[in-house]
Amino acid sequence: MLRRLHGLPGIALALALAVTALSGAVLSVQPALDRATVPAIPAAASVADVAAQVAARHPGVSAIRLRADGSLTAAFDDGGRRGVERIDPATGAGLGPYAVSDTIRFITNLHRAFLMGDAGRVGAAIGALAMLGLSLSGLMLLARRLGGMSALLRPIRGTPAQRWHGELGRLAAVGLLLSSLTGLWMSAGTFGLLPETVATTPAVTASGGAPAPIGTLTGLNTVKLRDLRELTFPDPADPTDVFTLVTADGERLVDAATGATLAMTPATTLERMNDLVRTLHTGRGAWVLGLFLGLASAMVPVLGGTGLVLWLRRRAARPRIDANVPARAADTVILVGSEGNSTWGFAGTLHKALVAAGHKVHTAAMNDVSAAHLAAPRLLVLAATYGEGAAPQSARLFLSRLADLPGQPAVAVLGFGDRSFPHFCRFARNVADALDARGCPRLLPMKRVDRRSPQEFAQWGHDLGDVLGHDLTLTHVAEPPKTSRLVLAGRELYGEAVGAPVAILRFTAPVDPRTGAPGRLPAFEAGDLVGIVPPGDAMPRFYSLASSTRDGVLEICVRLRAGGLCSTFLHGLLPGEGIDAFIRENPAFRPAKGRGPLILIGAGAGIGPLAGFVRANAAGRPVHLYWGGRSAASDFLYEHELAQHLAERRLTTLRTAFSRDADESAYVQDRIAADAPRLRELVKQGAQILVCGGRDMAEAVTRALEPVVRPLGLDLPTLKSSGRYVEDVY
Ligand SMILES: Cc1cc2nc3c(=O)[nH]c(=O)nc-3n(C[C@H](O)[C@H](O)[C@H](O)COP(=O)(O)OP(=O)(O)OC[C@H]3O[C@@H](n4cnc5c(N)ncnc54)[C@H](O)[C@@H]3O)c2cc1C
Ligand SMILES: Cc1cc2nc3c(=O)[nH]c(=O)nc-3n(C[C@H](O)[C@H](O)[C@H](O)COP(=O)(O)O)c2cc1C
């Protein structure tokens, strides 16, 4: 819901907001320019001083004004010669006619009313309201992602568009909140929606005597020029008329003969508020604030652009759910926890079958769970599992939100996972336990689907149909992922002699057969994943990328699994033969930005992305690689390339461990334990640790690293939560 609230008006109003924001950004520079160009007001100068000087030059002066831009101007009508002149506040001398530049007038009009009068002003007010909503919902979304309001300043991880949107968004948020709130206040004033100021100017009687020299009038020479807003001169033809002097404090009437203050009307609270709001909105008289607001506004088009990219990606990634009735009207709610979207496909099949059987069905992401979902009579949860039993992307917030909501629908939970992971469907199990604990009646016991098996899904549908009292046939045909064709350009085989064949495979895009032009690789970074669909199977297997698009090849290290479909297929591939592949970004597994040290740890094929990180380290940041194989003679992957990287200082140190070499038999965790003091020092300096390879190796490494970091008052969960310990294990 929050995401929808943030996304829809964001897209719809992007253009209008960009116009308002950019024109606002241009105007925001004005206070700083004014400060540089407009003469400063001397601290000691009084209103009487300058009024006397101006009256001496212009007998027909009617008013003197200190404008919002800091310039002092005088309006006069000297018997036929009339105009508005800029005044030097130090001497009262004329500085030429006063005029607002046409450009500034145009930009101001664009900013306030899109050049469209009152209709435009209404549009600008709606824009300010939308900006307020976007800033607030954006901050809440970011807080939700980073783990709460107190975590708002944590490093943001994700795709480049996610990072740019988040980083710029939180930088601009304070400025945009201020601009939109003050803009709304000013719009309310323009449309008379604020309580009117009551005109309370009292009737006074002037002394009627001959006007005294202006410089001697007490009512004027006790007021500092810098406090002036406007001084209106008395009509020379009317002996009962008086000076009207307006300052931030209010309006005073001053006798032209005696200089006495005849009346003082203090500024109302509303007038003072209006002054403050104007300063906060325009930065007039506060040029640093002006520039800050301008900078925040200038980010709006970038935020709009990156927001659009994120929205389009999310839309493209999810299958369309037809006949999705509102949650309140549904008899059955389906909530989906997915990361790679395949579970959405299953949810789509289930939704369709239930609708065909006459149900009113609502399907949504688990993150969006609300009271309306839990008020439905029946709740079906389809949830995948990632990592060590963790929630997938679209379900990260489910358990914490569930705890705050009422409702006890009858539930059935179906887990999607892979038996080869140690925590098979663990997240779905946690969800089922949480629903049990709140007393939700069970429609069915929790079931698990291994490797997206359509048969297991169909069986669950059959059981559900029995409970619902009608047939429910779930025939799910997985939508094949959109793949690109790649061609094997080269291969190197290692480890055969020690019974652990690992191939380094390099792929390129096929040459266009018509033009002969080289094909283009998709965009990826080292550490991302390539999904490869083996012939004869619908389920993709993932491999960690050892190269980035800039290297001109897509490179992976593949360990041959006995009886394994995809690894056998890849090992049998000959140069020139092709595969169907797609990229899955893996932004969590990347070296952190900056020049801090990196500790890379891996074994076997896990060296792939680590070698890619070293290769990309042209800047020579300190990188220490720990890697374990079986035998230096047989499976030392990247041996020559790593020697070259050491010489070029892309790699600072390399520690290898070979488990089958009689003279130095050791595992990578042994090297870590032996190097504890050195590693501790690196962690103390802020090093990030990246681990890649098999699960057993990763567990052994964790055990070896705990005592390394413990004396620093750290542990691996803490390092993990701050992104300083990241894993790509399988
Ligand atoms: C994030 C990630 C990154 C990875 N990176 C790499 C990498 O860089 N290099 C690499 O070599 N591998 C990597 N893998 C592992 C890779 O994706 C494959 O799992 C691996 O290559 C085996 O696939 P396969 O098709 O050869 O084997 P499969 O045919 O999938 O079989 C795998 C094993 O399970 C057994 N098996 C088959 N079907 C079942 C079943 N239904 N239930 C139980 N067991 C079954 C097989 O006999 C075999 O032993 C990564 C995995 C993940 C998730
Ligand atoms: C990186 C990665 C980690 C995974 N971790 C687990 C896991 O810990 N337990 C499990 O049962 N399945 C795990 N899986 C398998 C997925 O849960 C399974 O493929 C699921 O069908 C994916 O659904 P989705 O495409 O909707 O995200 C993992 C898959 C990947 C790619």
* Distances 342 to 249, 319, 368, 481, 540 between C-alpha atoms, Å: 67, 9, 18, 9, 11
For residue 418, the CA-to-ligand 2 centroid distance in Å is: 6
pLDDT-based confidence at residue 8 (cuts at 50, 70, 90)? low
CATH topology of domain 598-729: Rossmann fold (3.40.50)
How far is C-alpha 557 from the chain's CA centre?
34
H-type helices in 495-587, by residue range?
Answer: 565-571
For residue 567, the CA-to-ligand 1 centroid distance in Å is: 8
Q: Which atom of ligand 1 is nearest to the CA of 566?
A: 25
Q: Which residue has the tokens 């790699």?
A: 651
Bridge-based pairing of strands 541-544 and 554-559 is unpaired
For residue 488, the CA-to-ligand 2 centroid distance in Å is: 28
Does any ligand 1 atom lie closer than 6 A to the CB of residue 566? yes
* Distances 662 to 196, 281, 627 between C-alpha atoms, Å: 92, 75, 17
Answer yes or no: are the C-beta atoms of 31 and 286 closer than 8 Å.
yes
The SS3 of residue 145 is helix
pLDDT-based confidence at residue 665 (cuts at 50, 70, 90)? very high
For residue 342, the CA-to-ligand 2 centroid distance in Å is: 10
For residue 529, the CA-to-ligand 2 centroid distance in Å is: 13
- What is the rounded average pLDDT for all residues in the chain? 92
Q: What is the pLDDT of residues 246-284, one digit of tens each?
A: 999 999 999 999 999 999 999 999 999 999 999 999 988
Lowest mean pLDDT, pick from 219-223, 242-246, 319-323, 700-704? 319-323
Tell me which residue of 382, 394, 389 sits closest to 449, measured CA to CA.
382
pLDDT-based confidence at residue 6 (cuts at 50, 70, 90)? low
For residue 275, the CA-to-ligand 1 centroid distance in Å is: 68
Answer yes or no: are the C-beta atoms of 639 and 727 closer than 8 Å.
no
| Binding pocket residue ranges, ligand 2, CB within 6 Å | 338-343, 384-387, 389, 392, 416-418, 421, 423-425, 452, 542
Q: According to the model, what pLDDT value does residue 335 have? A: 98
379: its two tokens? 């709740």
Lowest mean pLDDT, pick from 68-77, 198-207, 503-512? 198-207
Answer yes or no: are the C-beta atoms of 73 and 81 closer than 8 Å.
no
Q: What is the pLDDT of residues 584-597, one digit of tens each?
A: 888 889 999 899 99
Q: According to the model, what pLDDT value does residue 198 have? A: 65
Amino acid at 189: G
For residue 458, the CA-to-ligand 1 centroid distance in Å is: 24
For residue 424, the CA-to-ligand 1 centroid distance in Å is: 14
Does any ligand 1 atom lie closer than 6 A to the CB of residue 730? yes
291: its two tokens? 């520039």
Q: What is the pLDDT of residues 356-375, one digit of tens each?
A: 999 999 999 999 999 999 99
Residue nearest atom 6 of ligand 2, based on CA coordinates: 386
Q: What is the pLDDT of residues 479-490, one digit of tens each?
A: 888 899 999 999
Mean pLDDT, residues 215-239 taken together: 95
Answer yes or no: is pLDDT of 144 > 90.
no
Q: What is the pLDDT of residues 43-55, one digit of tens each?
A: 999 999 999 999 9
Q: According to the model, what pLDDT value does residue 153 have? A: 86
How far is C-alpha 515 from the chain's CA centre?
41
600: its two tokens? 């890379």
Beta strand residue intervals within 301-405, DSSP E: 332-337, 361-365, 378-384
Q: What is the pLDDT of residues 426-467, one digit of tens each?
A: 999 999 999 999 999 999 999 999 999 999 999 999 999 999
For residue 620, the CA-to-ligand 2 centroid distance in Å is: 36
Answer yes or no: is pLDDT of 197 > 70.
no
Answer yes or no: is pLDDT of 578 > 90.
yes
For residue 542, the CA-to-ligand 1 centroid distance in Å is: 8
Total H helices, total E strands in the chain: 23, 24
Q: Parse the chain into domains and list their residue ranges.
A: 2-33+107-179+290-310, 40-89+199-267, 318-468, 484-584, 598-729
Residues 6+ apart with CB under 8 A from 21: 297, 298, 300, 301
Tell me which residue of 245, 220, 209, 219 sits closest to 52, measured CA to CA.
220
Upper half-sphere CA count for residue 401 (Cβ side, 13 Å): 19
Q: Which atom of ligand 1 is nearest to the CA of 542?
A: 17
Answer yes or no: are the C-beta atoms of 367 and 320 closer than 8 Å.
no
Mutate to test the pocket of ligand 2, among 350, 418, 447, 727 (most ligand atoms within 8 A of CB): 418
Lowest mean pLDDT, pick from 29-38, 547-556, 663-672? 29-38
Euclidean distance between the first and final Cα of the chain, in Å?
34
Mutate to test the pocket of ligand 1, among 539, 543, 585 (most ligand atoms within 8 A of CB): 543
> What is the gyration radius of the CA atoms in the chain, in angstroms?
36
Does any ligand 1 atom lie closer than 6 A to the CB of residue 539? no
Residue nearest atom 7 of ligand 2, based on CA coordinates: 386
Give the ligand whose atoms come closest to the C-alpha of residue 558.
Answer: 1
447: its two tokens? 């079931």
For residue 693, the CA-to-ligand 1 centroid distance in Å is: 12
Q: According to the model, what pLDDT value does residue 617 have? A: 97
In sequence order, the β-bridge partners of residue 485 are 580
Specify the CATH number for 318-468; select among 3.40.50.360, 3.40.50.300, 3.40.50.140, 3.40.50.1970.
3.40.50.360
Amino acid at 553: V
H-type helices in 338-453, by residue range?
Answer: 342-356, 371-375, 398-403, 426-437
Mutate to test the pocket of ligand 2, among 416, 456, 537, 727 (most ligand atoms within 8 A of CB): 416
Lowest mean pLDDT, pick from 13-17, 59-63, 489-493? 13-17
Give the ligand whose atoms come closest to the C-alpha of residue 338.
Answer: 2
Residue nearest atom 16 of ligand 2, based on CA coordinates: 417
For residue 525, the CA-to-ligand 2 centroid distance in Å is: 21
**What would the CATH number be for the domain defined by 484-584?**
2.40.30.10
Residue nearest atom 15 of ligand 2, based on CA coordinates: 417
Q: According to the model, what pLDDT value does residue 200 have? A: 67
For residue 507, the CA-to-ligand 1 centroid distance in Å is: 20
Fold match flag (318-468 vs 484-584) = no
pLDDT-based confidence at residue 1 (cuts at 50, 70, 90)? low
Answer yes or no: is pLDDT of 10 > 70.
no
Mutate to test the pocket of ligand 1, among 567, 569, 584, 590 (most ligand atoms within 8 A of CB): 567
* Distances 605 to 1, 422, 504, 641 between C-alpha atoms, Å: 42, 20, 9, 15
pLDDT-based confidence at residue 321 (cuts at 50, 70, 90)? confident
Does any ligand 1 atom lie closer than 6 A to the CB of residue 343? no
Answer yes or no: is pLDDT of 199 > 70.
no
For residue 393, the CA-to-ligand 2 centroid distance in Å is: 11
Mutate to test the pocket of ligand 1, among 566, 627, 637 (most ligand atoms within 8 A of CB): 566
Q: According to the model, what pLDDT value does residue 310 have? A: 87
Answer yes or no: is pLDDT of 189 > 70.
yes
Q: What is the pLDDT of residues 387-438, one digit of tens each?
A: 778 899 889 989 999 999 999 999 999 999 999 888 999 999 999 999 999 9
Mean pLDDT, residues 64-91 taken together: 94
Does any ligand 1 atom lie closer than 6 A to the CB of residue 144? no
**Phi-psi map region of 526: left, alpha, beta (phi>0 left; psi -120 to 50 alpha):** beta
The SS3 of residue 705 is helix
Tell me which residue of 186, 190, 177, 121 sits closest to 293, measured CA to CA.
177
Give the ligand whose atoms come closest to the C-alpha of residue 562.
Answer: 1
In angstroms, rounded to a whole number, what is the distance separating the alpha carbons of residues 582 and 390?
24
In angstroms, rounded to a whole number, what is the distance separating the alpha carbons of residues 639 and 495?
13
In angstroms, rounded to a whole number, what is the distance separating the alpha carbons of residues 643 and 3?
49
